[in-house]
Amino acid sequence: MQRKQTKRRRGYTAAELAEVFDRWGRGASSAGIAQALNRGWNVCSLLSRYGGIRPRTRCRSVRALTVAERGRFSTRR
């Protein structure tokens, strides 16, 4: 039995998200934004998910472990 291959969705980079919300703020249509970024109609779903408002940028907590600390703990047994 062969597996059905599914098309993987490509996420938005931080620069693409910034471009989408900058264009939306300047009054561009969602179809125009999708065409400029060479994306399908998922730009419309992105805008509706956030209500047309730019989401906050993610940042790590001060108390969170750094990548080096996580690597050091994961190698111990």
Q: Within a domain: residue 49? A: yes
**Does any domain span residue 77?**
no
Number of domains the chain contains: 1
Q: How confident is the model at residue 77 (pLDDT cuts 50, 70, 90)?
A: low
Decide if 61 is inside a domain.
Answer: no
Question: What residue numbers bound the domain in which 35 lies?
Answer: 12-55
- Whether residue 75 is contained in a domain is answered as no
Q: Is residue 20, in this structure, part of any structural domain at all?
A: yes
Does residue 62 lie in a domain region?
A: no
* Helices and strands of the chain, counted as H and E runs: 4, 0
Asked if 54 and 21 count as a contact pair (C-beta separation under 8 A), the reply is: yes
pTM: 0.64
Q: What is the pLDDT of residues 1-51, one digit of tens each?
A: 677 777 766 788 889 999 999 999 999 999 999 999 988 778 888 899 989
